[in-house]
Chains A and B, each alone.
Chain A
Amino acid sequence: MTQLDTISVKTSDNVTLGYTVAGVGSRIVAQILDNCVAIPLTVVAVLFAGALASVFVTSSEGADFANAASGIFAFFVYFGYFLVAEAVTAGKTPGKSAMGLRVIRVDGSAVDFGAVAVRNVIRVIDFSVVLVGLVVMFFQPQTRRLGDLAAGTVVIRDRTLITLAAATSPPPIILRTPDAGPGIDGIERLGRFERDALRVFLARPGLSPQLRASLSADIAKRLIERLALPADAPERRWPPEMFIERAYLQLDQRLQ
């Protein structure tokens, strides 16, 4: 949990949750997608306001003011889009949603209006001449821009990468032995690490019998070395596949 691209959050139950921080690339893409909504929205709003003004303006001075006002109106509509979108959806603008991103506070809780207001008012600075926000994001280990720093927020990946079905590892395939067999000498030298490794191997689907046999021979040889079995031990005469299956079953029983 100390990788740079994750943040860990301690919940009230004292369980640490790891959040994957969104990268600069996905945030830029989300920004572009949001611009695809925000810019047309701004243009439509300004055109509408301009049409309204042209109906009611009666003097050249008024027209100057209307022009100046529509310029600033565009500013408010554009930045207001992000503010409203984040406030309404609790941190997922349409662009972020499409990229599977989400704004949360650094303590793992959802953003409230205050945090959304801060990060979107400071967006004005982040977008100013040299794209300060982008530069800060590059050097900030959690790719936060100035608005994120001031609001105490961070953009994370919200998409589930792994489903329950995929996470449930398939059961090991036991072919050569009906049961755990007689106890292997020195099995206590092996631990959970070996058990998990054997399980990964035994659960592997689609191995051809020849390949499974040759890999088993290799693994069995290493296991026997690790177990430091004497030269005349009966286990050395077991077929390698049977040996590792029995070793796995015995380890699994012992470690339960």
Chain B
Amino acid sequence: MAAGDVHRAGVPAARPTTAVNLDRFIAERQARWADLEAAIKTARRGRLRTQSARDIERFGLLLRQTSSDLAIARRDHPDAPITEYLNTLCARAHPLLYRGTPRRAGSIGRFFATALPRSFRAAWPYITASLVLMLIGFVAGWIAVDVRPDLRSSLVPPSLFDEMARGQISTGVQDAPFAAAFIIQNNIRVALICFAGGVFLGIPTAFVLLSNGWMLGTVAAAVRLGGYDVQFWSLIAPHGVLELSVIVISGGTGLMLGGAILRPGQLRRGAALAHVAVRAVMLVLGAASLLVIAGTLEAFVSPSGLPDGAKLAIGAVVGVLLYSWLVLAGRNPHRRRSFAFDRPAETPA
């Protein structure tokens, strides 16, 4: 249906220069306002999804007509109650019709196949910065233990050394599913806080990264002094590769938010933050879902009785798989040498 048909049928020729008589204005057009009001009521859960294409088309037409009535009412009768009524009506109808691009079925598969690796690569400066922060914490922790070896016992429980000396850490946690549930949820929470901390310029994010690096550094230095390097790293490796990567990525998303506030570029700070956050949240949610795998490995594989070499190998394999996916997946072979400005917009899913 062309817009012109309805225009001719419903609206008398507009008189652009003279004001419209209020009574006639209302009398002539109130039928369509009532129609629009009825159409708003048929929306379910804030959506028009259940309606036929024809109804949605009609809804759009009614909304456009009513919003042009609103413009006329604003000009001619700015203080009349009808103007406020029309504004409220349009304001209610507008978000029903206008929304972001809808998520299509199967988009979760596409999200992990292309969108997530792409947004990982697009965020590399922030993820690198996040990695650097964690490394700073790690090195600082290492040096601290080197300078004050007497702190070793307060950092690593002596019982752990005894177990390592006996050649095995533990024969697997009993009730590993509960351990996994705890580990997974706790790590996801840390990842989300890393992201959310971005709204405070990324300062809480940096703190989480530094303290995680510090903990790892002090413990690693302490076990090195004790001479149990292999046992320690084989205990960490199966899950640690994945877990630390996800924390670094989450930290990167937090730093992205902080960066958007500090350097908004051409946008206003609020707009820059919103622009970045909606893309970054997809990266952090996708990365956090990997923690399910990491937590399962941590509860079932890391403390198991597998030989150290096998555990280290599992860690290496997980690392290779993770980074070949993040670095290689979703590349467009036809656009090898694209410039930054003609790269397609990163749309998560």
- The reply to whether B26 and A168 contact each other, CB–CB distance below 8 Å, is yes
Asked if B151 is an interface residue, CB under 8 A from chain A, the answer is no
- The reply to whether B278 and A109 contact each other, CB–CB distance below 8 Å, is no
Residues of B within 8 Å of A88, CB to CB, are 45
Asked if B106 is an interface residue, CB under 8 A from chain A, the answer is no
With A164-B34, A167-B84 given, is the CB distance from A65 to B175 under 8 Å? yes
- The reply to whether B94 and A9 contact each other, CB–CB distance below 8 Å, is yes
Interface size range of chain B in the complex: 35 or more
A123 smallest CB distance to B (angstroms): 8
Asked if B39 is an interface residue, CB under 8 A from chain A, the answer is no
Within 8 A of B (CB), among A1-37: 9, 11-13, 15-19
Chain B binder among A52-60, A175-183, A216-224, A230-238: A52-60
- The reply to whether B175 and A59 contact each other, CB–CB distance below 8 Å, is yes
A191 smallest CB distance to B (angstroms): 10
- The reply to whether B189 and A72 contact each other, CB–CB distance below 8 Å, is yes
Asked if A117 is an interface residue, CB under 8 A from chain B, the answer is yes
Residues of A within 8 Å of B85, CB to CB, are 162-164, 166-167
Asked if A137 is an interface residue, CB under 8 A from chain B, the answer is no
* Chain A residue at minimum C-beta to C-beta distance from B20: A256
- The reply to whether A196 and B64 contact each other, CB–CB distance below 8 Å, is no
Asked if A115 is an interface residue, CB under 8 A from chain B, the answer is yes
Q: Which of B33, B177, B282 has the most CB of A within 10 A?
A: B177
Residues of B within 8 Å of A122, CB to CB, are 196, 199, 277
With A66-B178, A121-B281 given, is the CB distance from A167 to B81 under 8 Å? yes
Distance between Cα atoms of A69 and B185 in the complex (Å): 7
Chain B binder among A148-156, A206-214, A240-248: A148-156
Q: Which of B98, B179, B196 has the most CB of A within 10 A?
A: B196
Asked if A51 is an interface residue, CB under 8 A from chain B, the answer is no
Distance between Cα atoms of A69 and B47 in the complex (Å): 37
- The reply to whether A62 and B174 contact each other, CB–CB distance below 8 Å, is yes
Contact with A along B184-200 (1 / 0, CB 8 A): 01101100110111111
With A17-B67, A117-B281 given, is the CB distance from A104 to B22 under 8 Å? no
- The reply to whether B178 and A62 contact each other, CB–CB distance below 8 Å, is yes
Contact with A along B80-100 (1 / 0, CB 8 A): 111011011111101110111
Q: Which of B175, B196, B198 contacts A124 (CB 8 A)?
A: B196
Asked if B165 is an interface residue, CB under 8 A from chain A, the answer is no
A141 smallest CB distance to B (angstroms): 11
Asked if B79 is an interface residue, CB under 8 A from chain A, the answer is yes
Q: Which of A15, A58, A90, A166 contacts B90 (CB 8 A)?
A: A15
Within 8 A of A (CB), among B278-333: 278-279, 281-282, 284-285
Asked if A91 is an interface residue, CB under 8 A from chain B, the answer is yes
- The reply to whether B71 and A58 contact each other, CB–CB distance below 8 Å, is no
Asked if B266 is an interface residue, CB under 8 A from chain A, the answer is no
Q: Which of A17, A110, A152, A192 contacts B270 (CB 8 A)?
A: A152
- The reply to whether B92 and A113 contact each other, CB–CB distance below 8 Å, is no
Q: Which of A17, A110, A158, A171 contacts B99 (CB 8 A)?
A: A110
Distance between Cα atoms of A142 and B82 in the complex (Å): 25
Contact with A along B235-254 (1 / 0, CB 8 A): 00000000000000000000
- The reply to whether A121 and B192 contact each other, CB–CB distance below 8 Å, is yes
A30 smallest CB distance to B (angstroms): 16
Asked if A198 is an interface residue, CB under 8 A from chain B, the answer is no
Distance between Cα atoms of A213 and B18 in the complex (Å): 33
Asked if A227 is an interface residue, CB under 8 A from chain B, the answer is no
* Chain B residue at minimum C-beta to C-beta distance from A252: B21
Asked if A146 is an interface residue, CB under 8 A from chain B, the answer is yes
Distance between Cα atoms of A105 and B85 in the complex (Å): 22
Within 8 A of A (CB), among B54-93: 64, 67-68, 70-71, 74, 76-77, 79-82, 84-85, 87-92
Contact with A along B260-284 (1 / 0, CB 8 A): 0000000000110111011101101
Distance between Cα atoms of A18 and B86 in the complex (Å): 10
Residues of A within 8 Å of B275, CB to CB, are 152
Asked if B5 is an interface residue, CB under 8 A from chain A, the answer is no
* Chain A residue at minimum C-beta to C-beta distance from B271: A152
Residues of B within 8 Å of A18, CB to CB, are 87, 91
* Chain A residue at minimum C-beta to C-beta distance from B64: A13
Residues of A within 8 Å of B37, CB to CB, are 164
* Chain A residue at minimum C-beta to C-beta distance from B87: A18
Residues of B within 8 Å of A66, CB to CB, are 175, 178, 181-182
Distance between Cα atoms of A82 and B310 in the complex (Å): 43
- The reply to whether A61 and B175 contact each other, CB–CB distance below 8 Å, is yes
- The reply to whether A146 and B46 contact each other, CB–CB distance below 8 Å, is no
B250 smallest CB distance to A (angstroms): 11
- The reply to whether B199 and A114 contact each other, CB–CB distance below 8 Å, is no
Residues of A within 8 Å of B34, CB to CB, are 164
Of all A-B residue pairs in the complex, the 9 with the closest CB atoms, nearest first, are A62-B175, A152-B274, A90-B46, A167-B85, A112-B100, A69-B182, A59-B174, A110-B99, A72-B185
- Given A114-B278, A118-B274, 9 more A-B residue pairs with CB atoms under 8 Å apart are A17-B70, A66-B175, A66-B182, A110-B98, A110-B100, A152-B274, A152-B278, A167-B81, A196-B80
12 contacts between A and B (CB under 8 A): A12-B98, A16-B74, A62-B174, A65-B179, A89-B46, A90-B45, A110-B47, A122-B277, A125-B199, A163-B85, A164-B34, A169-B22
